[in-house]
Amino acid sequence: DGGITQSPKYLFRKEGQNVTLSCEQNLNHDAMYWYRQDPGQGLRLIYYSQIVNDFQKGDIAEGYSVSREKKESFPLTVTSAQKNPTAFYLCASSIQGGKNEQYFGPGTRLTVT
């Protein structure tokens, strides 16, 4: 089955630690995205990548970093510089091109204490 996997589903970290969230897709999509969702709110774009070895900042990139070394993988690192990292993180992918729908993974809920 084609799809997007995110791991782990739940993640707990101590304040001051960096943490990396995994996102893998086997849909052969060129574009991948990371969103953050806070309770009762919509999704906000963190980073996106249209092609391997290239990525751009979204609306709330501060305190986050990404890499895109392989087409199928787009890991997100939440650094200690992120002031309020506790949130639900969603990865998505789409066919290259401006107006195509995005397909989402199941999400990772990160709790930092």
Query: Interface residues with other proteins (CB under 8 A)?
Result: 4, 6, 31, 33, 40-43, 45, 48, 50, 58, 90, 92, 98-107, 109
Least CB distance to other proteins at residue 80 (A): 26
Residues 70 and 39: their CA atoms lie apart, in Å, by 32
Alpha carbon 90 to its chain centroid, in Å, reads 5
Question: Amino acid identity, residue 9?
Answer: K
For residues 1 and 15, which CB has a smaller minimum distance to other proteins in the complex?
1
Shortest distance in whole angstroms from residue 101 CB to other proteins: 5
The token pair at 2 is 């084609």
